[in-house]
Amino acid sequence: MPLNSDPNCIFCKIVAGQIPSTQVHRDESVMAFNDIRPLAPTHILVIPLEHVTFVNQTRAEDEKLIGHMVRVGGSVAQKAGIEKSGYRISINQGRDAGQELDHLHLHVLGGRPLGRSA
């Protein structure tokens, strides 16, 4: 596991290879993989390799990481062939927003009209 990981976190276990995933991208700071419960034809998660729980727990030096996550989101959308029709990148924070796992991640959704969100 990475230096900053949570042994009980499902995403940390995916990063460590303890839980399989359909990986579509990995580099020195993030990985992206297909969501196992997709909400759209394309539903890819982008997560930092190190365990970060919430956006409001990031530090100024994490700005590069957050920006990189968004750039990777755009890159995997392009690889998935949804960049021209459109896609959504979202970060859910807290239970009311639909965050199910306490490891910072962003969703890349597309492949169908998504409509407006709240």
* Cα diameter, the chain: 40
* Beta-carbon count within 10 A of 113 CB: 8
Rounded distance between C-alpha atoms, residue 41 and residue 101, angstroms: 21
Q: Which of 25, 43, 103, 105 is catalytic?
A: 105
For residue 105, indicate whether it is catalytic.
yes
Q: So which residues are the catalytic ones?
A: 105
